[in-house]
Structure 1
Amino acid sequence: MTQIRIATFNLENFDETAPTAHPSRAERITLMKPQISRLRADIACFQEVHGQERPGQPRALLTLKELLAGTNLDGAALISTKPANDAVFDVRNLVVATHLPVIKPQQMKNELVAAPATSGSPPHPPTRSPSRSVSSGPSCTRRSTSTTPSPAACCTSSPCT
């Protein structure tokens, strides 16, 4: 049996920071990098990763790549939420990092099931019309019937079916 380590991190709006911001990006990376190294995850799922722009280049996960540099996930495939232009979103990307083979990444947006309706908090009656709550993220065919796609769904030691 093969053992696989999976970790998940909410990086809380992980991005470049203003020169006067505290904690700075460098301080956050210094704090988080040892934790990523210590866990030695084969698959790491990251939430709230912002994309960065550079002149003449598509938006990319540059800050996340800096965080992973020097860890076991340095140079790993990064599968993320993507807008139509195949870059990454400017804010709150979901990202899966792995050196394991990724057969077929696929982004799903709950197109197979109706989104749950939400309204006012119980026990009070609703005060406004119901709104829709929809999540999106990378997934694979194996998870195609799920109501809550998981970024880790596409990363397995065997092909997605």
Structure 2
Amino acid sequence: MRIATFNLENLDDHPGGGMDFEDRLAVMRPQFLRLRADVLCLQEVNTHPAAKGGPRLYAALDRLLAGTGCEHWHRAASLNRGGRHPADKHNLVIVSRLPIRAHRQVWHDLVPPCAYRPVRAEPPPAEAQKVEWDRPILHAELELPGGRILHVVNVHLRAPRAVWLPGQKERFGRWLSVGGWAEGFFLAEVKQAGQALETRLLVEEIFDADPDALVAVCGDFNSMEREGALRIVKGDEEDTGNGHLAMRMLVPLERSLPENRRYSVIHHGRPVMLDHILVSRPLLGWYLGAEIHNETLGDELVSPATIHGTPESYHAPMVAEFALPAP
């Protein structure tokens, strides 16, 4: 069994900036074929209505998956804040060869929004405002041969980019004060940590129901291993200081790779590992190995292609392989 995660970088069959979607298909479809995945955790999948007022369709994803062998597999996808239909942008999708027994999204179901009154906003608000996460968490229960359940959690945490504040940022992205940028960056950190906490509490619910649960938390964490968001989700024994909790730790699978291969993004010349597959210890017992397909990555900030658009994603896909026991 192979589980993959891939941030598709605004997958959309109506791309802006003069980008040709056919170019994206030509580049990205071989990436899917190379993954040979049985379970795909995808981030940044956009949708459009087929007609005005009609249902929103995953037309770009359908075209990307066509001919890969997984176009007719089971799917679970996130919804907008109202829970009625997919969002325009940045949906989470799980595509699985294994049957999906149940799925749900978690969005402030376990952690309520924080209340915060910005001090640099102009004009300042009269009272504290809700600080809500940008995206939900998607949890699917997949049925393995023999009847066991594999819990797959797909996440896309907030990037560490400052949140807009009234009166502190110009239309084209220039901040008007360092204090305004600092407060916006603080709020971005709150959003990312809050999503990480809600992810961890979801994992806690799974372990409460089954201490030996098979769990894989996959996605774009926008966080490296020793940074706060990933530490919250992992629940490492060295942080809790309690060996009795060791079975609740989630293990980052990139640890099994050489250090010079542990990167999924190149950020201003610096290779960083922002996309992860974390697994429970029972699932780790089935682990065979992992791959990060980062050979063609461009720099997300300084690559010349960022000016006119590129058919590639600036995130490398990661895939992990497991040996399933006989049913």
- 1:26 counterpart residue number: 22
Tell me the C-alpha RMSD between the 2 structures: 3.3
- 2:98 counterpart residue number: 100
SS of equivalent to 2:7 = strand
Kept in 2, the 8 Å contact 1:138–1:151? The answer is no
Change (3 A) 1:102 1:116: same
Question: Following TM superposition, by how much is the alpha carbon of 1:19 offset from its aligned partner in structure 2, in angstroms?
Answer: 8.8
Kept in 2, the 8 Å contact 1:96–1:151? The answer is no
2:69 is aligned with 1:72: yes
SS of equivalent to 1:90 = coil
SS of equivalent to 2:31 = helix
Aligned counterparts of 1:85 and 1:136: Cα–Cα separation in 2: 10
Q: Which runs of 5+ in 1 are unaligned?
A: 121-125, 157-161
SS of equivalent to 2:100 = coil
Aligned counterparts of 1:72 and 1:116: Cα–Cα separation in 2: 43
Kept in 1, the 8 Å contact 2:13–2:59? The answer is no
Change (3 A) 1:88 1:131: closer
**Which is strand-richer, 1 or 2?**
2
The one-letter code matched in structure 2 to 1:139 is H
Kept in 2, the 8 Å contact 1:139–1:151? The answer is no
Aligned counterparts of 1:116 and 1:151: Cα–Cα separation in 2: 25
Question: Following TM superposition, by how much is the alpha carbon of 1:114 offset from its aligned partner in structure 2, in angstroms?
Answer: 4.1
Change (3 A) 1:8 1:116: farther
Aligned counterparts of 2:23 and 2:15: Cα–Cα separation in 1: 12
Change (3 A) 1:18 1:91: closer
Aligned counterparts of 2:139 and 2:36: Cα–Cα separation in 1: 22
Deviates more, 1:130-139 or 1:7-16: 130-139
Aligned counterparts of 1:140 and 1:75: Cα–Cα separation in 2: 17
2:47 is aligned with 1:51: yes
Change (3 A) 1:5 1:34: same
Kept in 2, the 8 Å contact 1:49–1:94? The answer is yes
Change (3 A) 1:14 1:79: same
Kept in 2, the 8 Å contact 1:109–1:137? The answer is yes
Kept in 2, the 8 Å contact 1:137–1:151? The answer is no
Question: Following TM superposition, by how much is the alpha carbon of 1:86 offset from its aligned partner in structure 2, in angstroms?
Answer: 4.1
Aligned counterparts of 1:44 and 1:59: Cα–Cα separation in 2: 21
**Which is helix-richer, 1 or 2?**
2
Kept in 2, the 8 Å contact 1:95–1:151? The answer is no
Deviates more, 1:130-139 or 1:54-63: 130-139
2:37 is aligned with 1:61: no
Change (3 A) 1:17 1:99: same
Aligned counterparts of 1:115 and 1:105: Cα–Cα separation in 2: 23
SS of equivalent to 1:103 = strand
**CA-to-aligned-CA distance 1:59-116 (integer Å, 9 cap, x gap):** 0111101101111312122211113464321111011111211011111113112457
The one-letter code matched in structure 1 to 2:136 is S
Once the two structures are superposed, the pairs formed by residues 78-117 of structure 1 within 5 Å of their partners are 78-83=75-80, 84=82, 86-114=84-112
**CA-to-aligned-CA distance 1:4-31 (integer Å, 9 cap, x gap):** 2111111111112369722x11111110
SS of equivalent to 1:97 = strand
Question: Following TM superposition, by how much is the alpha carbon of 1:139 offset from its aligned partner in structure 2, in angstroms?
Answer: 1.2
> Which of these two proteins has the greater Rg computed from alpha carbons?
2
Change (3 A) 1:53 1:43: same
Once the two structures are superposed, the pairs formed by residues 142-161 of structure 1 within 5 Å of their partners are 147-148=198-199
Q: Which runs of 5+ in 2 are unaligned?
A: 122-127, 142-150, 154-196, 203-216, 220-282, 284-327
Q: Report the TM-score, using the length of structure 1 for normalisation.
A: 0.71
